[in-house]
Amino acid sequence: MEPSSTVKIAADGDVILVVGPKAMKLRVHSLFLKAASKPFSAMFGPDWKEGDEMTGRDGPVELPLPEDNAAAMKLICAIIHHRNEGIPSTLPALNVLEIAVTADKYDCVDALKFASHTWLRPDEHDMSDLMLLAASAYLFRNAQAFKEITKAMILTHSGPYLALSCEEVESAMSWKVFCHLEEARSSARLQLAEILLEGVNDSTVSCCHRCGWSSKYAYAYLKSLKEQHLWPTHLYRTSISEVLESAEKMPDPVPTEDSGPCTYSYKHCTPEYRRNRRWSLDRLNNSIGLCLHCVRSGRASASSCQVTH
């Protein structure tokens, strides 16, 4: 007699998976598991001892999986059996990682591609959760989600990434991802500093007749960077999204001193620093986020990546 505590993912399934230390029982079809997962396919293959005995048996065969996560396996089986009514559209980040670890172990991440997509959205998560989601996207081989999650981490975190590490993340994802995150954020900060300082050389303000028109604007611009806390050294203590926001809001400076007389003063233009740097800031913002293909292949250069950056 089958105990009532068995979760009937398939009421007439031929196998009962007995999962985790508390032995949760999941009744499933071996055929569905075989189709979605190579390890299950091998397990239920011709050499499967219990399988041989199945022919002519009345009840399902039990397969103990004591080391696996029961809740994760339950969801994976529900997805593989197209039982979508039991699949939540949002899940805590740690649960997503547990599912990713189990799906990776049983080589069935492809079968979970669409379900995992909604769990991997980076919005409304704190930084530690984003690290768990990054590790999940890494295991699910979801390059788009990995880029979006790491982008959120690079933009909004100002402390060290290593502080967000935990056992679950370290066992799921290469430690090199921490280095990639630090490197990507340093590079983005350097590019930000360059874009902001470039304003000094704004070509629309230049007058080559030594009248002081260009330098009075350059001086006012530098002063305004300092006042708005956008001086390069300050960028290392601030998150990139805060810097982008300040740079977007910073008004164009008004010089306080006069420039000298100039024969060509009719050619003088008032610079529009804010408008002129917007394109560069947008371009930088769009380029942020790690490429999963590069990270997984261990390539140092994006030029040899399988996708165009």
By the 8 A CB rule, do 140 and 117 touch? no
DSSP characters for 65-90? ETTS-HHHHHHHHHHHTT-GGG--S-
147 scored as a contact of Zn ion (CB under 5 A): no
305 scored as a contact of Zn ion (CB under 5 A): yes
Task: State which of residues 8, 117, 147, 293 lies at the interface with Zn ion (CB under 5 A).
Answer: 293
Output 123 or 258, the one with its CB closest to Zn ion: 258
**Count of beta carbons in the 10 Å neighbourhood of residue 257:** 9
| CA terminus-to-terminus distance, the chain | 59
291 scored as a contact of Zn ion (CB under 5 A): yes
DSSP characters for 115-132? HHHHHT--TT--HHHHHH
Output 117 or 299, the one with its CB closest to Zn ion: 299
Output 65 or 292, the one with its CB closest to Zn ion: 292
Residues in the chain: 309
Task: State which of residues 182, 238, 262, 276 lies at the interface with Zn ion (CB under 5 A).
Answer: 262
Closest CA to 172 of 131, 143, 142, 144: 131
Task: State which of residues 100, 139, 155, 207 lies at the interface with Zn ion (CB under 5 A).
Answer: 207
209 scored as a contact of Zn ion (CB under 5 A): yes
Output 216 or 277, the one with its CB closest to Zn ion: 216
* Choices 53-61, 62-70, 201-209, 278-286 (CB under 5 A): range interacting with Zn ion: 201-209
By the 8 A CB rule, do 41 and 31 touch? no
Task: Look at the alpha carbons of 271, 249, 244, 146 in this order and tell me if their dihedral is positive or negative.
Answer: negative
* Choices 31-39, 52-60, 61-69, 205-213 (CB under 5 A): range interacting with Zn ion: 205-213
**Sites of contact with Zn ion (CB under 5 A):** 207, 209, 211, 213, 262, 291, 293-294, 305
